[in-house]
Amino acid sequence: MKPKRLLIVEDNSFIARDTKRKVTKLGYKVADIVSSGEEAVEKAQNDPPPDLILMDIILEGDIDGVEAARQINIKQHIPIIYVTAYASKDLTQRVKLTGPYGYITKPFKDEELQNAVEIAFYKQEMEIKLFEARKMKAIGILAGGLAHDFNNILFPIMGYAELLKEELPSDGLLSEAAEEIFIGAGRASEVVKQLMVLSRPETLELQPIKVQSVLSGVLNTSNVLLSQSVKLEQNIEDCGLILADASQLYQVIMNLITNACHAIGEKKGVLTIDLTEKDFHHDSKQIRQPYVCLSICDTGAGMDQEIMGKMFDPYFSTKQKHQGSGLGLSVVRSIVESYNGKVLCESEPGRGTQFEIFFPRIITDDIKITEPETASESMGTGQICFVNNDSSVTALGKYNLESSGYQVTSFAGSQEALDFIQKAPEKFDLIIADIDMPHMTGDVLISKVKKIQPANRAILFTDHQKKISKEKAAQMGVDKVLEKPVEKNLLVTAVQALVQNKKE
């Protein structure tokens, strides 16, 4: 790491020389020595600016150190430590208004200067972290709201496009149009997924997963990305399990590979993917921890320091409109850090970029890996009660279930459904209710239905904003929670499993 550069503002040449000696002895660099407030303001605007300013108060020129600090603060954010022999109540008030990082009185010892400078840098680091955390929180809230509204809109768009694809003759223009709508809505749903990660990285239930199985899935589907110009080299070892969510892991890998391919662009280049187990020193603690390390390295355009400083910011993108939303890397970092992992990056303009992702490896090996469920081809049988106040969701759900063999009775309100079930408790095998219902929410309806007919199976539709914990869902008698938008395959699979389970 380069030594930090300090600007010394001091009108007494003897003290200035002494301060320079002390600063150098402590391992810092002196960016400049100036004797007036005006010069201090000017030097603060240099490129690169100093990392910290040691500011005397009484100076040559028309403005004093406090006024110089005030002017610097308007344009930049550089930590300032006042170094002065002079103190008064009034002065302290003025000094406070400039938000100083420290205040030391002359004459001072080496250790005093060292403490003041170290504390100032630490304070600056903490401020940046706090700012970052607040920014991510605000973006998270915004993203969450957006994702919620968008999901509700996408649910019928995707569902009806799927329905049209099934119903229309497969060789016509209309069927192609339906396919395009489905693909477009699918892309929008990917953006929603990215936004959701930013708003709730911590709430997913993680499963033991092997990175290599998700990685091979990505490589199979990312052929389109790998143009003629990209040569793929891979060294994928059989690594241990990590705790992750498969679709999030897919997102991480896909975002990194997409970026690498974009960076290579039309020129010839190499994309190297390595997956190995590595030990890694954990920050301050000198313990080595086992990690599964995924390295994605490209020989593309690379990045300069300025871009690297911003690359994780949500919505930061150097790509042209429609080519990038600037969410990819912020999502990568959110996901990896929520797994207690690390993202390292090295890059050089014109030479290329390497991202290394460290996922903590699970130490115990005898953990069952859950295989994704898929709907069986055969038609199902059973009576379903579908409760939803959104008619487009109901019509779609009804169609999807009826075309899979089930008989569906739908209700637009919870009370209506409950009245019906009270009169005919044996009628249904399964109830599907939406959590977001007026007067009586879906989970409450399910708990009442279970009291009347405990054998009934129950699915609750939730969304990003209206969620329910696993424990609460179980308490209310919910057998399966499905988050909207629910694809046909997912819905039918869940219904098949629960109806089958009831019959057994």
Ligand X SMILES: Nc1ncnc2c1ncn2[C@@H]1O[C@H](COP(=O)(O)OP(=O)(O)OP(=O)(O)O)[C@@H](O)[C@H]1O
Nearest to Mg ion of 49, 328 (CB atom): 328
Decide: is 245 part of the binding site for ligand X (CB under 6 A): no
**Contact by Cβ (8 Å): 491, 384:** no
The least distance separating Mg ion from the CB of residue 323, rounded to whole angstroms, comes to: 9
Q: Which of the choices Mg ion, ligand X, none does residue 429 contact, using the CB cut-off of 5 to 8 A by kind?
A: none
Between CA 24 and CA 103, with CA 10 as vertex, the angle to 5 degrees is: 80
Q: Which of the choices Mg ion, ligand X, none does residue 317 contact, using the CB cut-off of 5 to 8 A by kind?
A: ligand X
The least distance separating ligand X from the CB of residue 263, rounded to whole angstroms, comes to: 3
3-state secondary structure at position 492: helix
**Helix (H) / strand (E) containing 209:** strand 207-209
Centroid of chain to Cα 433: 30
Report the largest interatomic distance among the alpha carbons of the chain, rounded to a whole angstrom: 97
Nearest to ligand X of 226, 307 (CB atom): 307
3-state secondary structure at position 410: strand
The least distance separating ligand X from the CB of residue 329, rounded to whole angstroms, comes to: 3
**Among the residue ranges 51-59, 298-306, 359-367, 374-382, the one whose residues contact ligand X (CB under 6 A):** 298-306
The least distance separating ligand X from the CB of residue 174, rounded to whole angstroms, comes to: 31
CA dist 372 and 494 (Å) reads: 12
**Contact by Cβ (8 Å): 451, 418:** no
The least distance separating Mg ion from the CB of residue 158, rounded to whole angstroms, comes to: 23
Nearest to ligand X of 225, 440 (CB atom): 225
**Contact by Cβ (8 Å): 53, 32:** no
H-helix segments, 6-64: 13-25, 37-44
- DSSP states of 68-85: HHHHHHHH----EEEEES
Site residues for ligand X, 334-353, by CB under 6 A, read 353
**Among the residue ranges 243-251, 326-334, 478-486, 494-502, the one whose residues contact ligand X (CB under 6 A):** 326-334
Closest CA to 466 of 490, 492, 493, 444: 444
CA dist 416 and 330 (Å) reads: 45
**Helix (H) / strand (E) containing 306:** helix 305-310
The least distance separating Mg ion from the CB of residue 319, rounded to whole angstroms, comes to: 8
Nearest to ligand X of 300, 442 (CB atom): 300
φ, ψ of residue 332 to 5 degrees: the values are -55, -50
CA dist 133 and 127 (Å) reads: 10
Among 140, 328, 442, 485, binds Mg ion (CB under 5 A): 328
Nearest to Mg ion of 259, 334 (CB atom): 259
Q: Judging by DSSP bridges, how do beta strands 269-281 and 288-298 pair with one another?
A: antiparallel
**Among the residue ranges 84-92, 178-186, 257-265, 461-469, the one whose residues contact ligand X (CB under 6 A):** 257-265
Nearest to ligand X of 244, 263 (CB atom): 263
Decide: is 300 part of the binding site for ligand X (CB under 6 A): yes
Q: Judging by DSSP bridges, how do beta strands 457-462 and 480-483 pair with one another?
A: parallel
Write the interaction track for Mg ion spanning residues 248-277; mark x where CB under 5 A is met and - where it is not: -----------x------------------
Q: How many CA atoms lie within 13 A of 345 on its CB side?
A: 22
**Contact by Cβ (8 Å): 283, 352:** no
3-state secondary structure at position 400: helix
Q: Which of the choices ligand X, Mg ion, none does residue 63 contact, using the CB cut-off of 5 to 8 A by kind?
A: none
The pair of structure tokens assigned to 194 is 């990215």
**Contact by Cβ (8 Å): 50, 21:** no
CA dist 1 and 29 (Å) reads: 13
Decide: is 314 part of the binding site for Mg ion (CB under 5 A): no
**Among the residue ranges 239-247, 265-273, 294-302, 376-384, the one whose residues contact ligand X (CB under 6 A):** 294-302
Decide: is 254 part of the binding site for ligand X (CB under 6 A): no
The least distance separating ligand X from the CB of residue 321, rounded to whole angstroms, comes to: 11
Closest CA to 125 of 80, 79, 81, 82: 79
| Straight-line distance from the first to the last Cα atom of the chain, in angstroms, rounded to the nearest whole number | 66
Q: Which of the choices Mg ion, ligand X, none does residue 102 contact, using the CB cut-off of 5 to 8 A by kind?
A: none
Nearest to ligand X of 79, 328 (CB atom): 328
Nearest to Mg ion of 156, 328 (CB atom): 328
Decide: is 324 part of the binding site for ligand X (CB under 6 A): yes
Decide: is 311 part of the binding site for ligand X (CB under 6 A): yes
Decide: is 329 part of the binding site for ligand X (CB under 6 A): yes
Q: Which of the choices ligand X, Mg ion, none does residue 385 contact, using the CB cut-off of 5 to 8 A by kind?
A: none
Decide: is 341 part of the binding site for Mg ion (CB under 5 A): no
Nearest to Mg ion of 325, 489 (CB atom): 325
Nearest to ligand X of 84, 330 (CB atom): 330
Decide: is 269 part of the binding site for ligand X (CB under 6 A): no
Among 23, 68, 301, 476, binds ligand X (CB under 6 A): 301
Closest CA to 86 of 99, 112, 105: 105
**Binding residues for ligand X (CB under 6 A):** 255, 259-260, 263, 298, 300-303, 307, 311, 316-319, 324-330, 353
**Binding residues for Mg ion (CB under 5 A):** 259, 328
